[in-house]
Amino acid sequence: MSAAIELWPPQASQHAKDIDLLIGSFGAMVWLFTLPVFVLITVFAIRYRRSHEVNREHAPPGNPWLELSWSAIPFLMILVFFVWSTALFLDLYRPPAEAMPIHVVAKQWMWKFQHPEGAREINDLHVPVGTPVKLVMTSEDAIHSLYVPALRIKQDVLPGRYTSLWFDAEQEGVYPLRCAEFCGTDHSAMTGRLIVMRADAYAAWLARNRDGGADGTLAAQGGALYRRLGCGGCHGAGASVRAPPLGGVFGRPVALADGGSVTADEQYLRDAILLPNRQVVAGYRPIMPTYANTLSEEQVNALVEYLKGVRDGR
Ligand code: HEC
Ligand SMILES: [Cu+2]
């Protein structure tokens, strides 16, 4: 950590610059509206004080147009900020389809990261510069919140479900990453580093940090797990049990037994494994066992990554 007092965090992404422009402009507008009020209060208080001899005749009886305008103009300007910030907000919550998924598991008191290429790390997060990254996050215990000031992004991390966040860091460097939700004794020590590297340096880093070498990508680790747990015994082509084929399930609309429909996103796949009876696929019986007490969060993440890639139902 640098010794200098940091008055304003660095801007590591275009989003950070956009947010600063929004905050700066809003601040400027607040000054624009409040400063004249305070200046005029002071001027009038001095000028029209009781002991001062001034002409107090012809006080204006009221001016509806003036009064209307000082309500309407700030209102319209606030609306501009409403539209502007909503656009930024929607952009932040809609990751581009090609974004690189990195799984995050928070626990008291550390951050665990799983890269799609199979590398794993704790408290440090290495990412390539100029590449959209989508964080798919969950917690093993309390509520945490991932906060990277240099990217101006923050999102709560909850047990039992996924939340996500995306960014595109365009400035190489090392930036602090912290927990922004009080989560117990060592909350303040739940910090880490975001390390934004050139693409080739990231590739070299990945090659050095392949998880055990043999395990391969996160999806391949999930595939091994899928076979070890015998999921294919029901979902496979030759299975005697009737279960939906899983090829191409990710992103597909799924009709449910209760008449509803959902899109099979990461959250859906996670729930299908951990809470199989919550959303039952239409036309099938709810016979799938729950894996809630057998799998770690990291294993669920690996299975989800595997399911996202299956094209044929094995
Ligand atoms: C005993 C048989 C059985 C086993 C074992 C089993 N499943 Fe299932 N699975 C089903 C059935 C039946 C359904 C459809 C009914 C439902 O949604 O509960 C289903 C639904 C699913 C769905 C939702 C599919 C869709 O089209 O929306 C996913 C994803 C899934 N299972 C993944 C897995 C994974 C991963 C494993 C291994 C960890 C597994 N299943 C093990 C029987 C099984
Ligand atoms: Cu925390």
Average pLDDT of the chain, as a whole number: 90
- DSSP assignment, residue 99? P
- Listed ranges 58-67, 147-156, 243-252; the one with the highest mean pLDDT: 147-156
Question: Is a pLDDT exceeding 70 seen at residue 24?
Answer: yes
The CATH code for residues 218-309 is: 1.10.760.10
Domain ranges of the chain: 14-46+63-92, 100-208, 218-309
Of the CA atoms within 13 Å of residue 120, those in its CB half-sphere come to 16
Contact 235, 245 (CB under 8 A): yes
What is the third-level CATH fold of 100-208?
Immunoglobulin-like (2.60.40)
What is the SS3 assignment for 175? strand
pLDDT digits (tens, 9 = 90+) for 261-295: 999 999 999 999 999 888 899 888 888 989 988 89
Question: Is a pLDDT exceeding 70 seen at residue 26?
Answer: yes
pLDDT band at 314 (very low <50, low <70, confident <90, very high): very low
Question: Is a pLDDT exceeding 80 seen at residue 39?
Answer: yes
pLDDT digits (tens, 9 = 90+) for 117-126: 888 899 999 9
What is the number of helices (H) and of strands (E) in the chain?
A: 7, 12
Residues with CB under 5 A from ligand 2 (ion): 144, 179, 183, 190
HEC-encoded secondary structure of 280-310: CECCCCCCCCCCCCCCCHHHHHHHHHHHHHC
Contact 23, 88 (CB under 8 A): no
What is the SS3 assignment for 150? helix
Whether ligand 1 lies within 6 angstroms of the CB of 159 is answered as no
Whether ligand 1 lies within 6 angstroms of the CB of 314 is answered as no
Q: How far apart, in whole angstroms, are the C-alpha atoms of residue 188 and residue 49?
A: 53
What pLDDT is stored for residue 215 in this prediction? 63
Query: What are residue 22's phi and psi, to 5 degrees?
Result: -60, -50
Q: How far apart, in whole angstroms, are the C-alpha atoms of residue 287 and residue 242?
A: 9
Centre of ligand 1 from the C-alpha of residue 10, in Å: 46
Whether ligand 1 lies within 6 angstroms of the CB of 292 is answered as no
Centre of ligand 2 from the C-alpha of residue 146, in Å: 8
Centre of ligand 2 from the C-alpha of residue 243, in Å: 39
How far from 242 is each of 51, 307, 314, CA to CA, in Å?
94, 18, 14
pLDDT band at 200 (very low <50, low <70, confident <90, very high): very high
Centre of ligand 2 from the C-alpha of residue 185, in Å: 10
Whether ligand 1 lies within 6 angstroms of the CB of 302 is answered as no
pLDDT band at 207 (very low <50, low <70, confident <90, very high): confident
Whether ligand 1 lies within 6 angstroms of the CB of 288 is answered as yes
